[in-house]
Amino acid sequence: MRRYKMMMVLVLAFTMLGTNLSWAQEETTSDESPLSLNVDLMSRYIWRGQDFGAAPSIQPGVSYSKWGFTLGAWGAYTFNNVNTGVQEADLYLSYSINDMFSVTVTDYFFPDEASDYNYFDYKDKSTGHVFEGTIAFNGTEKLPLSILLATNFYGADARRMNDDETVGSIQYSTYAELAYAFKHFDLFMGFNLTTPDADKGESGYYGDSFGVVNLGISASREIKITENFSLPLNIALITNPQKEKIYLVAGFNF
């Protein structure tokens, strides 16, 4: 009940903020400025079929785009206790070609706020960062099919264990996703393309074997708050067939 009240207060606060700033939306469009700011308030943080934190999540983001490049930061912070919640702070650099193709490098980081974590530790054997390279086809108006391929190439990916139980090299865990956009909803399917070897002490980053880990449908609509301000609502039904889990997630974007 306490978390529910907290979420309602946040929704009302952001709604009031959006109403007060509605004039700014009229005066300045996103196309006129390379700087983008946004906040998502989600009932759960589900990423590639995995539940991070088992709690509502607030997700701020900021990006700056110029000459096809986008430099950005994104975070996710759960509402539950820092000892059990999952927090995230990412940096990324992307290059887009005619909005059709994009190449992205992302630095994922999950700070452990229950301990004295070191963000600037980039040593191979001890870093908490995960670096990922992504290539994507973003679809066209006539073909609203998007294809994504992502591979971890450095950092705290699930690691092989040597005979002396010291940490070995990363697995280069790889994820692929297909998505098709219809008029009112999107369908998506994500695959774990890595097969961990349990005999070597490997554990899966996305799943324990090759297969589908992220399958679902999402939809969005605008909820009109005032004459000049609407609140985007997103709802997704997500399943992870490999882990036999299902999630119904809702969120607002500001």
pLDDT recorded at residue 254: 87
Percentages helix, strand, coil for the chain, rounded to the nearest 5? 10, 50, 35
Q: Looking at 56-70, 136-150, 190-204, 207-221, which range is the least confident one?
A: 190-204
Would you say the pTM of this structure is higher than 0.75?
yes
Per-residue pLDDT tens digits for 83-110 = 666 789 999 999 999 989 999 999 999 8
Look-up: residue for tokens 């996103």?
30
Q: pLDDT higher for 198 or 6?
A: 198
Return the number of other C-beta atoms located less than 10 Å from residue 68's C-beta: 12
Distances (CA, A) of 125 to 78, 151, 166, 167, 199: 27, 19, 9, 6, 21
Q: What is the pLDDT of residues 217-241, one digit of tens each?
A: 999 999 888 888 888 999 999 999 9
CA distances to 19, 21, 97, 228 from 27, rounded to whole Å, are 14, 10, 29, 12
pLDDT in tens, 115-151: 788 999 998 878 899 999 999 999 999 999 999 999 9
- Nearest CA to 155 among 87, 113, 107, 208? 107
Neighbour count for residue 55 (Cβ, 10 Å): 19
CA–CA separation, 55 vs 86, rounded Å?
Answer: 9
